[in-house]
Each structure stands twice: as C-alpha cells, then as structure tokens.
Structure 1
Amino acid sequence: MFELSDAQIGSWVSSFVLPLFRIAALLMVMPIIGTQLVPTRVRLYLSLAISVVLVPTLPPMPLVDSISLQAFMFIAQEILIGVMLGFVLQLFFHVFVVAGQILAMQMGLGFASMVDPANGISVPVIGQYFTMLVTLLFLAMNGHLVVFEVLAESFLTLPPGSGLQVDHYWEIATKLGWVMGAALIIVLPAVTALLVVNIAFGVMTRAAPQLNIFSIGFPLTLVLGMVIVWISMADILSHYQALASEALIMLRELARAS
C-alpha cells in the first residue's frame, strides 16, 4: 500500500502549493487575466500550468507541516504578495480609466456610459476607450511577459517563508498616490482646451444674453471635445511608456526583499 509520511507531505506542500498560491493570487487580481472576461477555472488552470513549469527551477523551499498554523501563515503570506503585485498593475490601468472619466465630465459626455465587461460596472465611453487602448498597448509591448518575469524573480528575492518587511512595503505604499496625478497629467492639455471653449461660451452669453447657449454650446462642446481627444491621441504613447515604466519598476521594487 502506497503511504506518504508527514515529511513527504510537508515537502510537497512547501515546494508546490506555496508558489501556486502566490501565482494564483496574482492571476486573480491582475488586469486582463484577472477580469470577468476570463473564467475562474481558466485562471486556475493557468496558475497550475505556470506552477508546474516554474517550481523545478526554484530553490529549495522551507519544510513545513501541512496542517500546522505555520503552513497557513505561509499561505496567507503568499496570497498577500500576489495580491499586492496585482494591485500595482490595477492602479496602473486605472490611471487611464480616471483620465477618461475626467475628460468625459469636462466635455459633457459623462452621461454616455456603458457597461465595462471586464469589471461589470458602468463607466463613461471615453474611459472605456482608454481602457481598451491601454490593454492593447500592454499586450503589444509584452507587458504581461514582464509581469511573469518579475513574478519568477520574486521567488528568488522574496522566497516563501522569508517574512515580510513592513517598512519596505510601507515605503512602496506611500508611492501609490500617483494615480490621480498621472491621470491629470494625461488629460491636462485636453481639459485646458475645453476650459478655453467654456470661457468663450461664457463670454458669448455675456455679450448676447438672448442667445440660447444650451442649444448651441452643448453640442459644440461635444464636437470640439471629440476633436481635442483625437488630437491628444498623438501624445498618448509617450504617456503610456512613462507610466508603464514607472509601474513595472514599482512592481520590481515590491518583489524585492529589501
């Protein structure tokens, strides 16, 4: 009869299950793969496949009793690391979502919303357009491969059972407030142009009070807003490269032990 000892079970848990939880946590939270567009079963199968490929290349894991409190603490630590890595990527994607929402509100298109199939919520059309644009750019520039590379390196720089340094992660957390600032930088030229348009309509209303500004200004603001968005797309790639580099560098710093 085939029997497994406690040491063998503990070795199997530490060598395969601990990396699996970190990989699965990242895939459940990160954009694109962690959205509602990808079924949970597919994400679990992908986590198993990555674990099978990655585990033989990892250094020896610490032995732990499979049903002890220490094992549950190690599993919780791996889930926390994976969630933090995915959360940084979510913040990077939401920079463009917030930028689209700010721009839509300024051009009077905030009422035109649609259901985001990735998150299951209603967002302005401009925000959804920016989301699809950054998703395509992220995949076209192999950003997902860089994320998997950082994930593989994290098992060397931050092996399971090594413990988390609170000061290091608190320092990283203080840098995550760049979402709103980065979104404002992206849409600042367009918002400034729309502000000039609104000021011009205000001057027209002051000069000719009998002019119905709502029937003229609202559709004209929409048309000029679409033209401004079209012109601003010429500079979106430079903003994406700068923000993507900052987000991936932050992701690599997060995966460091110190």
Structure 2
Amino acid sequence: MATLNIPLDAFYGVLLVFLRVAAIVFSAPILDAATIPVVFKAGLAFAVSVLMLPVVDVFVSTADLSLMTFVIGIFSEVAIGVTIGLSVKLLFTGIQMAGQIVGFQMGVAMANVVDPASSSQIPILAQFYNLTAMLVFLAINAHHMFFTALVDSYRVLPPLSLHMNPQLVDMMMRLAANTFVVAIKVGAPLIAVMLVVSVGLGLVARTVPQMHIFIVAMPLKILIGLVFMMIVAPYLTAFLIDLFSSYRVTLFDLIKIMALGR
C-alpha cells in the first residue's frame, strides 16, 4: 500500500500560506458574500495557496518550534489576511454609506432590499452604489491587488514575523475614518443637489402656503435625484476607478507597517 510522507516543516509552511490566503478570501469584498458557498471559498483559497508555493518562501523549521509559537503563528497569519481584506472592505462600506445618505436626502430610505453579502436589509440606493462599486472593481481588475498583496506580504512579512504596534492601529483607524470621507465624496453631487432642492421647496412653502408641499416634495425629490444620478454616473465611475487604483499603494503601506519591528 502506497503511503504519503510529508515533512512536518513543509506541512506547516503550506498551512501558514493557506491560512493567510483563506483569511483574505473570507474577508475580502465580493468573496465574503454569504451567497458564496464556504466549500467554494475554501477550495479557492487552497488552489491559490498551491499556486503561490513556487513564488513565495515559506520554509519554517519546526525543530525548535514550541506549541505556543505554533499557535501564535497560526493566529498571526489569520490576522494578516483579515487585516488586508478588511482594509479594502472599508472602501465598500464608505460607498454603501454614500448610498444611504443620498437615499435619506431623496426620501427613498424606507425602500429596503436584502443585501446578499450580509443577509440584512439595506436602503435600495445603498445597494445600487455597492453593486456599482463591485462592477467597477471587477471591470478594472482591481481584485488582482489581493494577489499582489499576498506576494508582497510574504516578501515583506514572512511567516512568524507579525508585530503588533501602535502604527498599525493608527493606520486602521485612519482607514476607518476615511470611510466617511469616501462616503461624502461619492455622494457629494447628489447631496448638494438635494440640499438646493430642499431650500427651494422651503421657499415655495413660505411663499405659497396653499400648496401641499409634502405631497409635491417627495416625487419631485425622487425625480430630480434619479435625473442627477444619471448625469453624474460617468463621473462616479471615474472616481471609483481612481479610488481603487490608488488604493494599491495604501495596501502596500499597510503591509510594511505590519512588518515594522521584526
């Protein structure tokens, strides 16, 4: 009977690669959707891990490796992958927040749909902005940044070399704060238009008190909002392309910060 003998050092190295890749796959945008089967995600992570073995150096000697170091190594690889995936997920959170803000301004925030990624109800405009961002993300091959980040992470941050430091926490806090900046930038045109419309309707309500302004305001806001959404659509696409393209540098800076102190 044939037997398969795998050296312990090689097995541990493959395990570390798989854990980092799997953490990115399970936390990255689009792939983190609940509609994608877990078996598919695990199979994709395993396939990518096998393809990465020839191009990354993951040799880890287990001769002097204690159980505590083994466990810390596993958690550190998961933490690296989750940090990379979460940092990109924050961009989509900001874009989705822009849809929520615009939805409140237009008066369609009560129209909710089920988000397949989180299995929760979100405003319909938030889902529209989120799907638009996903399509642009895939159209410009921005998802390839995850593969680049993986290779760069093993070149800058080999296994068992993660060091938690205040700069990493500060970087993640700034990325979280940037979520609100992205939301305002994405929704700024429609927010400004809805503000002008609200001021105009307020003046009309003061000058023509006989008009039922609440009956006129809701369909008018929705109509003007949809028209301006079509007008600013090309500019929104261009902004998203620049946003995703420039984020590669931010992602590499995040990896370098995780490697500080090693």
Q: Does 1:129 align with 2:128?
A: yes
Q: Which residue of structure 2 lines up, in the alignment, with residue 153 of structure 1? A: 152
Residues 65-108 of structure 1: per-residue CA shift (max 9 Å, x gap): 68812111000000000000000111011121011111010010
Deviation at 1:139, TM superposition (A): 0.8
Q: Does 1:42 align with 2:40?
A: yes
Separation in 2, partners of 1:29, 1:37: 14
Which aligned pairs between 1:1-258 and structure 2 lie closer than 5 A? 8-9=7-8, 11-64=9-62, 68-176=67-175, 177-256=177-256, 257-258=259-260
* Contact preservation (8 Å) 1:29, 1:87: yes
What is the TM-score when the length of structure 1 is the normalising length? 0.92
Separation in 1, partners of 2:248, 2:28: 13
Amino acid at match of 1:141: I
Deviation at 1:4, TM superposition (A): 6.2
* Unaligned 5+ runs, structure 1: none
Q: Evaluate the alpha carbon distance shift between residue 67 and residue 121 of structure 1 in structure 2; reply closer, same or farther with a 3 A threshold.
A: farther
Deviation at 1:248, TM superposition (A): 2.4
Deviation at 1:3, TM superposition (A): 9.1
Give the share of equivalent positions with the same residue, in percent: 27
What is the TM-score when the length of structure 2 is the normalising length? 0.91
Separation in 1, partners of 2:172, 2:139: 28
Separation in 1, partners of 2:231, 2:161: 50
Separation in 1, partners of 2:92, 2:222: 25
Structure 1: 4+ residue segments shifted above 3 A: 1-5
Separation in 2, partners of 1:60, 1:201: 64
Amino acid at match of 1:87: L
| 1:143 match: secondary structure | coil
Separation in 1, partners of 2:58, 2:86: 28
Amino acid at match of 2:84: L
* Contact preservation (8 Å) 1:24, 1:43: yes
Separation in 2, partners of 1:136, 1:242: 14
RMSD (Å) for aligned C-alpha atoms: 2.0
Q: Evaluate the alpha carbon distance shift between residue 211 and residue 62 of structure 1 in structure 2; reply closer, same or farther with a 3 A threshold.
A: same
